[in-house]
Amino acid sequence: MLNIERENLILELLKQKESIKLKEIIKILNVSEATARRDLATLEKKELIRRVHGGAILNISSNISKDFNIQYRKNINRTEKEKIAKLAASFVQNDSCIFLDAGTTTLEMIKYFKDLNLKVVTNGLNLIEELETYEIESYLIGGKIKSKTSCTTGFAAVEYLNTFNFDYVFIGANAFNLDGYSTPDSEEAMVKSKAISRGKHVFFLCDSSKFEKNSFINFSPLKAGTLITDASLPEKYSQLTKVEVVK
């Protein structure tokens, strides 16, 4: 991975979490401690981050957007996302109508649907091509296009969702804690909330990097559905929601 690619990945992580530990960078980017420190030093010199003891924080004055670029998201915690996607897909029964939230984890689910007869509704522009590849009947909800995260959002998208009844709903989040699931974009939050309200079985797909974090807008309480993640959580979470952990 090139220097600039690593730096961009670090920035995308910070846009989500606002702080990151050095050991997390080493694990996620699969680099040495020396390389991770050099990358942080470069980003600090560009005034994009501030180094702190054991890691770094986003430099708020740099005015970097908190939204993920879809291309970078594909490379963040990819192994964990693939495991979460496989487990999530295993809950889907044949002849179902499902909603797939825009995102990279839901994208990984699609290949597991190839032998099922499904109707899939999504706001993910990046999901449509994959759905067509596997000849899955699919519907893209209308609305304002948000190119950076490759999705449709806004009131038009919410109104369109009112016409559907879903057997299964799969939702991503930028962060979650005991207060619920959150995201940095208010219009995306509206779409997520509406999809959840139209679903019989709701699943939240969140890798452990989003644990105990908080983003701008809360869009759902924990109790609204089952959390699928890649690491065990404290007992207090199991008291509020069903938790499925990948093997």
Taking the C-alpha atoms of residue 211 and residue 177, their distance in angstroms, rounded to an integer, is 6
pLDDT band of residue 214 (cuts 50, 70, 90) is confident
Question: Where is pLDDT greater, at 185 or 71?
Answer: 185
Query: Mean per-residue pLDDT for 103-124?
Result: 96
- HSE toward the beta carbon, residue 87, CA cutoff 13 A: 21
Listed in sequence order, the residues at least 6 apart from 2 whose beta carbon sits closer than 8 Å to its beta carbon are none
Q: Looking at residue 65, what is its pLDDT?
A: 42
Query: Mean per-residue pLDDT for 212-228?
Result: 92
SS3 content of the chain, % helix, strand, coil (to 5): 40, 25, 30
58 pLDDT higher than 90: no
* pTM of the complete model beyond 0.85: no
Query: Mean per-residue pLDDT for 127-148?
Result: 93
Q: Where are the domains of the chain?
A: 3-62, 72-245
| Cβ(214)–Cβ(91) below 8 Å | no
Amino acid identity at 170: F
CATH topology of domain 72-245: Rossmann fold (3.40.50)
3-state secondary structure 162-201: CCCCEEEEEEECCEEECCEEEECCHHHHHHHHHHHHCEEE
CATH topology of domain 3-62: Arc Repressor Mutant, subunit A (1.10.10)
Query: Mean per-residue pLDDT for 183-192?
Result: 90
